[in-house]
């Protein structure tokens, strides 16, 4: 179904409105006067002849400000605006009243049901200025609420990120503790092996040496020393060939401290491949 030219004009006109005002009064003359007063302003102006009808209008429209008469049949203006506050707290609420009605709406003002009251008969320029200031206040209220909501959302996001980081730190801490325990256990196992074992790094530095190794060398071998300080050039050459070619090699008739040993040279694997070798002495 197509959209008529009239409908398009109505839609375009609604796009030009800056705010929507609902005026509620049981006197048609008052409603017509107010409508004429605001006809040149960029407001969408709605009317209702009773509080009950005004609530129906609010259900179908997003209203920024309600201007209500106090003395109406069925429901007074203060009663009507109390219901508006309950259902539409962001909507500004202004009441029109005579001098004799001021006392009757004081309680409603104290409860916050009414933003302000204006006296009848009103002066057109003053009324328009009050409406303008009230709508500016409405925009500030709405903008502040949205900002608070956005801040709350950002706070929730940050709290979620912090919780995730804390969980990651806890998981990482557990992993590090497990790795540390595994390292300690591997060091104990290495130290308890009944044969000498030496770990050699890529640059020929002794990285690890177990207890049997230190006993073999009368305890003067230390980690951090160069492997060339304890082996012949031929043995050292074989060690570097194993690291480079990633192939295990066995040597025999290796004399250490007046004792003949066999030597197994094994390359490191996995992420340490090409970075070192393990020397295992056996009879």
DSSP string, the chain: -PPPHHHHHHHHHHHH-SEEEEEE-S-HHHHHHHHHHTTTSSEEEEEESSHHHHHHHHHHS--SEEEEESS-SSS-HHHHHHHHHHH-TTSEEEEEE-GGGHHHHHHHHHTTS-SEEEESSPPHHHHHHHHHHHHHHHHHHHHHHHHHHHHHHHHHHHHHHHHHHHHHHHHHHHHHHHHHHHHHHHHHHHHH-SS-EEEEETTSBEEEE-HHHHHHTTT---TTSBGGGTS-HHHHHHHHHHHHHT--EEEEEEEETTEEEEEEEEE--GGGTTSEEEEEEE-
Q: Are residues 113 and 26 in the same domain?
A: yes
Least confident of 129-133, 167-171, 189-193, 227-231: 189-193
Residue 242 confidence (pLDDT): 94
Q: Are residues 125 and 18 in the same domain?
A: yes
Handedness of CA 251, 256, 258, 263 (dihedral sign): negative
- Domain presence at residue 263: yes
Q: What is the pLDDT of residues 125-143, one digit of tens each?
A: 999 999 999 999 999 988 8
CATH number at residue 135: 3.40.50.2300
CA-atom Rg of the chain in angstroms: 45
Q: Are residues 119 and 206 in the same domain?
A: no
Q: Are residues 9 and 118 in the same domain?
A: yes
Q: What is the pLDDT of residues 60-95, one digit of tens each?
A: 999 999 999 988 888 889 899 999 999 999 999 999
CB atoms within 10 A of CB 117: 20
- Calculate the CA dihedral of residues 68, 71, 77, 78 and round it to 10 degrees: 140
**Residue that wins the pLDDT comparison between 102 and 15:** 102
Q: Are residues 62 and 143 in the same domain?
A: yes
The parent domain of residue 132 ranges over 5-148
Q: Are residues 206 and 272 in the same domain?
A: yes
Q: Is the pLDDT at 207 greater than 50, yes or no?
A: yes
Q: Are residues 132 and 193 in the same domain?
A: no
Q: Are residues 83 and 200 in the same domain?
A: no
- Domain presence at residue 235: yes
Q: Which of these three, 89, 120, 148, is where a domain ends?
A: 148
Q: Are residues 221 and 117 in the same domain?
A: no
Q: Is the pLDDT at 243 greater than 70, yes or no?
A: yes
- Domain presence at residue 105: yes
Closest CA to 276 of 173, 200, 206: 200
- Domain presence at residue 175: no
**Residue position matching structure tokens 């003067």:** 220
Closest CA to 77 of 32, 35, 22: 22
**How much of the chain exceeds pLDDT 70, in percent?**
92
Q: Is the pLDDT at 10 greater than 50, yes or no?
A: no
Q: Which of these three, 148, 177, 203, is where a domain ends?
A: 148
**Residue position matching structure tokens 């500030």:** 140
Q: Which of these three, 120, 148, 176, is where a domain ends?
A: 148
Q: Is the pLDDT at 3 greater than 70, yes or no?
A: no
What strands lie across the sheet with 206-209, from one edge to the other? 206-209, 197-201, 276-282, 259-267, 249-256
- Domain presence at residue 162: no
Q: Are residues 130 and 263 in the same domain?
A: no
- Domain presence at residue 123: yes
User: Tokens representing 185?
Assistant: 């256990």
- Domain presence at residue 227: yes
CATH number at residue 274: 3.30.450.20
Q: Give how many domains the chain has, as a whole number.
A: 2
Does this model's pTM top 0.75? My answer is no
C-alpha to C-alpha distance for 115 and 129, rounded to whole angstroms: 15
The answer to whether residues 197 and 281 touch, using CB atoms and an 8 Å cutoff, is yes
Average pLDDT, the chain: 86
Residue 4 confidence (pLDDT): 44
- Domain presence at residue 37: yes
**Residue that wins the pLDDT comparison between 94 and 111:** 94
Reported as a pLDDT band with limits 50, 70 and 90, residue 49 is: very high
Q: Are residues 142 and 15 in the same domain?
A: yes
Q: Is the pLDDT at 219 greater than 70, yes or no?
A: no
Q: Are residues 114 and 206 in the same domain?
A: no
């Amino acid at each position: 179904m197509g959209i008529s030219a009239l409908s398009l004009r109505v839609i375009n006109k609604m796009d030009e409105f800056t705010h929507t005002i609902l005026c509620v009064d049981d006197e048609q003359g008052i409603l017509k006067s107010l409508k004429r007063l605001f006809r040149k302003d960029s407001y969408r102006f709605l009317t209702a002849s009773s509080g009950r009808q005004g609530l129906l209008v609010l259900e179908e429209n997003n209203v920024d400000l309600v201007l209500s008469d106090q003395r109406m049949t069925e429901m007074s203006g203060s009663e009507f605006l109390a219901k508006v506050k309950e259902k539409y707290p962001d909507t500004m609420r202004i009441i029109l009243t005579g001098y004799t009605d001021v006392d009757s709406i004081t309680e409603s003002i104290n409860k916050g049901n009414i933003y302000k009251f204006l006296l009848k008969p009103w002066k057109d320029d003053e009324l328009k200025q009050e409406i303008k200031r009230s709508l500016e206040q409405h925009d500030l209220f709405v903008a502040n609420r949205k900002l608070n909501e956005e801040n709350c959302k950002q706070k929730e996001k940050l709290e979620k990120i912090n919780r995730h980081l804390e969980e990651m730190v806890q998981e990482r801490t557990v992993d590090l503790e497990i790795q540390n325990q595994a390292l300690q256990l591997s060091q104990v196992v290495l130290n308890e092996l009944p044969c000498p074992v030496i770990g050699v790094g890529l640059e020929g530095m002794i990285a690890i040496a177990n207890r049997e190794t230190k006993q073999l060398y009368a305890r003067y071998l230390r980690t951090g020393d160069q492997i060339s300080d304890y082996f012949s050039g031929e043995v050292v050459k074989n060690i570097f060939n194993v690291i480079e070619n990633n192939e295990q090699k066995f040597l025999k008739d290796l004399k250490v401290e007046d004792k003949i040993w066999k030597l197994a040279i094994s390359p490191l694997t996995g992420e340490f491949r090409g970075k070192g070798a393990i020397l295992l002495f056996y009879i």
